[in-house]
Amino acid sequence: MRGAIPQPDYYAILGVQPDAADAEITRAWRRLVLAAHPDKRDSPASREGTPGGSTSTTLNGDSVPDIVLVNEARAVLSDPTRRAAFDAERARPYSAQPPAPSGPRIREYVSLETFTPHVEDESNPDAEPHQYTLECRCGQEYVITLEELEAGVDVIGCPGCGEYIGVEYEEVDE
Ligand SMILES: [Zn+2]
């Protein structure tokens, strides 16, 4: 399942609690190293520094973590600075999405025909509406002006509640 998270959980690899003391970490690490390399029980430390990503280690059972990871886990967790950095990284929810950069969230799409047209010159029957309004559920009004329509604006915000709606309309031709 690796790859879904930015880095492995070193505590889980060593099988220790996140608040484990140094001695516990070393003990857990030694146990895993011995389990993976029963012939090298005298100098497990000599295996430190194995390049990461190596797959040369052959394990007898899949219950023993990759020795490279075990060494890496111990190296990080026994170094206060690296452990603190790892703890901070670990505490951050990796599934958190960055804020959507794609503008306002549109509550709904409304046809311009649903809007109420407002004509500036009421005496002129041929006058084009200079703006259209639609009552928002908050009581305020969405307003879209003729200028905005001609400019192709199709998302407007309510001044009352900050909701956005999309306005559907045909291209306004002169
Ligand atoms: Zn509103």
Residue 142 burial (CB count, 10 A): 20
Is 24 inside any structural domain?
yes
**Do 69 and 21 have their domain in common?**
yes
Q: What is the CATH number of the domain that holds 71?
A: 1.10.287.110
- Ion ligand 1: residues, Cβ under 5 Å: 136, 138, 140, 158, 160-161
Q: At what angle do helices 67-77 and 22-36 cross, to 10 degrees?
A: 170
146 and 117 part of one domain: yes
The DSSP annotation for 83-123 comes to HHHHHHHHHS-TTPPPPP-S-PPEEEEEEGGGSEEE-S-TT
- The reply to whether the predicted model has a pTM over 0.85 is no
Q: How many domains does the chain have?
A: 2
Q: What is the pLDDT along the chain (174 residues), one digit of tens a residue?
A: 444 445 789 999 999 999 999 999 999 999 999 887 666 544 444 444 444 444 444 444 456 678 899 999 999 999 999 999 999 888 876 555 555 556 678 999 999 999 999 998 878 878 889 999 999 999 999 999 999 999 999 999 999 998 999 999 986 555
The number of C-alpha atoms within 13 Å of 36 and in the hemisphere containing its C-beta is 24
- Whether residues 31 and 82 fall in one domain: yes
pLDDT at 10: 94
- CA 162 to ligand 1 center in whole angstroms: 6
